Amino acid sequence: MNAKWLGLLLLLALGASCATTYQARHAKPSGFLGDYSQLREGEGQEPLLVYFNPAADVRAYDRILIDPVAGYVGEGSRLDRLSVRDRQALLDYFHAALREQLGQDYELVDQPGPRTLRLRVAVTDARRTKPVADTLSTVVPVGLAISALQRVALGKTLATGSVRVEAEALDAQTGERLAAMVDERVGAKVTGRFDKWSKWQDARDAFDYWSARMRGTLRDFREGAGEDPRRAPKK
């Protein structure tokens, strides 16, 4: 094989092995958003269900009001099985991640006002990593094979964690919906790190991903540069 192509394949393999979470195949609405009639199936890097208001001008906003992240227990949700401590820790972490990312581009405010986006977010389902099972199935080759089969069959593995969220961006004064999404991410089997012993690492990785993704999408819309982020290809 040509050395150039071999090097490219190795880089692609390393990139895939370092991915910490991946998108699930389906995400069931919980009821948190209320009205789901505007949402469509996502494409490319979009959330599994998504809506963008075609008349919205994100450049009109320079402040953001981030509501406390909610834990919403809809039908089939496993959030009510978590301890109060674990559930609160997840919500607090996500809220902090959102503030850290979005605060780099927006003035963070705690009251509705002009030029203000209001962000409503809820964690609607979460399943912790099973650290011992996850580590064994990663280290043992047979376990890796079984895990791969589970992912093909189920869209997620049985040992890794997963987390589902719903979010919408509103005009803080009028309440007009500017965007909305439902998405779910699942922990990858091999991360190249030693943090898989943490039962909620997969959820934290997903929260980091969504926070950074929200910032990037808002920035792209605001700057109007490059490819339309609503049609970005999968990576």
Domain ranges of the chain: 25-221
**With 80 as the cut, is the pLDDT of residue 138 above it?**
no
How far is C-alpha 8 from the geometric centre of its chain's CA atoms? 28
Which pairing describes strands 116-127 and 49-52: parallel, antiparallel, or unpaired?
A: unpaired
Whether 215 contacts 104, CB under 8 Å: yes
pLDDT of residue 130: 57
pLDDT of residue 141: 53
Output the CA torsion 61→62→66→72 (10° steps).
30
Whether 117 contacts 63, CB under 8 Å: yes
pLDDT of residue 224: 72
Tokens found for residue 12: 């692609």
Neighbouring C-alpha atoms within 13 Å toward the C-beta of 219: 12
| CATH number 1.20.58 is the correct assignment for the domain at 25-221 | no
pLDDT of residue 179: 94
Whether 158 contacts 219, CB under 8 Å: no
pLDDT of residue 13: 36
Which residue's entry shows tokens 């503030």?
99
Whether 80 contacts 124, CB under 8 Å: no
**With 60 as the cut, is the pLDDT of residue 132 above it?**
no
186: amino acid identity, one letter: V
Ordered alpha helix ranges (H), 184-226: 201-223
- Nearest CA to 119 among 162, 193, 66, 161? 66
What does the pLDDT look like over 95-110, one tens digit per residue?
999 999 999 999 999 9
Of all residues in the chain, what percent carry a pLDDT higher than 90? 41
Q: How confident is the model at residue 31 (pLDDT cuts 50, 70, 90)?
A: very high
Tokens found for residue 41: 């199936």
What does the pLDDT look like over 161-175, one tens digit per residue?
778 999 999 999 999
pLDDT of residue 160: 54
pLDDT of residue 34: 95
- Nearest CA to 213 among 188, 192, 183, 173? 183
Whether 90 contacts 68, CB under 8 Å: no
Tokens found for residue 199: 């039962």
Please give the Cα distance from 25 to 32 (Å, whole number): 20
**With 50 as the cut, is the pLDDT of residue 66 above it?**
yes
pLDDT of residue 201: 80
Q: Read off the pLDDT of each residue in 148-167 and give the average, rounded to a whole number.
A: 62
Q: What are the C-alpha distances in Å from 144 to residues 55, 182, 187, 190?
A: 47, 30, 14, 9
Q: How confident is the model at residue 144 (pLDDT cuts 50, 70, 90)?
A: low
Which of residues 57 and 231 earns the better pLDDT score? Answer: 57
Please give the Cα distance from 216 to 101 (Å, whole number): 9
